[in-house]
A and B are shown apart, each in its own frame.
Chain A
Amino acid sequence: MKNSIKIQRVIKDLTQEDLANKIGVSRQTINSIENNRYIPSTALALKISAIFDKNVNELFELEKDD
């Protein structure tokens, strides 16, 4: 699964720390999600999508081998 959180974060001019504080997780968790090392739960994905005013589908995308 790939995601465009890093791009959206840069557009919104947020640091990983800012985003982490807004959704109540650690900066390392945001880093893991951005680098596709961790797939967030539905609840966390919804919280992230709410920050960027996007649908979850616009942020997260399945890859061929998923």
Chain B
Amino acid sequence: MSIMKMDKNQHDLVLLPRLFNKVALGILILSILFATLAILSIINIDMAVMKTIVATGILVSLLIFALTKDKVEDELLLRIRLKAFAGSFIFGVLYVLIDPFINLLFDHDFSSDLGLTRILITMFLFYFMSFYSMKKKR
């Protein structure tokens, strides 16, 4: 087996072509536009349905952004990407664990009312912050 093939097998992480950055941006803009139109009552839609549609749009766009290739996708960037994914997972778990204590501190209620969408969006934001920060420092 050639070095190139072994290298590819060991470092393979299926990522989307760079064109998908534009697709993700389009979905994000449409979601924000849809939310704005619904809030301004230009579109008549149930608020719960609107929130679900907008949250789905934001999550899909963030997922596509996270899984789209960089200009030069090499082994160092892959390592940074995986570190950022692992970090965001740990952050998500800690966020869920700490949330009841924060509620206890401010609302005197030891419970957690975190929605799945909120957790996932926070995890994605943590992922992007750590990914770009590590990428800048490499």
Binding site for B on A (CB under 8 A): 20, 24-26, 28-29, 31-32, 37-38, 40-41, 43-44, 46-47
A25 with B138: in contact, given A43-B3, A46-B3 (CB under 8 Å)? no
A43 with B6: in contact, given A29-B74, A38-B76 (CB under 8 Å)? yes
Cβ contacts under 8 Å, B4 to chain A = 43
Cβ contacts under 8 Å, A25 to chain B = 72, 74-76
A24 and B3 contact, CB distance less than 8 A: no
For the A-B complex, the count of residue pairs with Cβ-Cβ distances under 8 Å equals 40
Q: Which of A28, A43, A46, A47 contacts B76 (CB 8 A)?
A: A28
Binding site for A on B (CB under 8 A): 3-4, 6-7, 10-11, 71-72, 74-77, 79, 138
Cβ contacts under 8 Å, A46 to chain B = 3
Q: Separation in Å of the B137 CB from the closest CB of chain A?
A: 9
Q: Separation in Å of the B2 CB from the closest CB of chain A?
A: 10
16 interchain pairs, CB-CB under 8 A: A20-B72, A25-B72, A25-B75, A28-B76, A28-B138, A29-B72, A29-B74, A29-B77, A31-B138, A37-B138, A38-B79, A41-B11, A43-B3, A44-B7, A44-B75, A46-B3
Taking CB as reference atom, which chain A residue is nearest B76?
A29
Give me the 9 closest cross-chain CB pairs, A-B, nearest first. A25-B74, A26-B72, A43-B7, A29-B76, A43-B3, A28-B138, A32-B138, A29-B74, A38-B76
Q: Separation in Å of the B90 CB from the closest CB of chain A?
A: 22
Inter-chain CA distance A29–B75, complex, in Å, is 9
Which of B4, B6, B7, B77 is the most central at the interface, judged by chain A CB atoms within 10 Å of its CB? B7
Inter-chain CA distance A63–B13, complex, in Å, is 32
Cβ contacts under 8 Å, A20 to chain B = 72
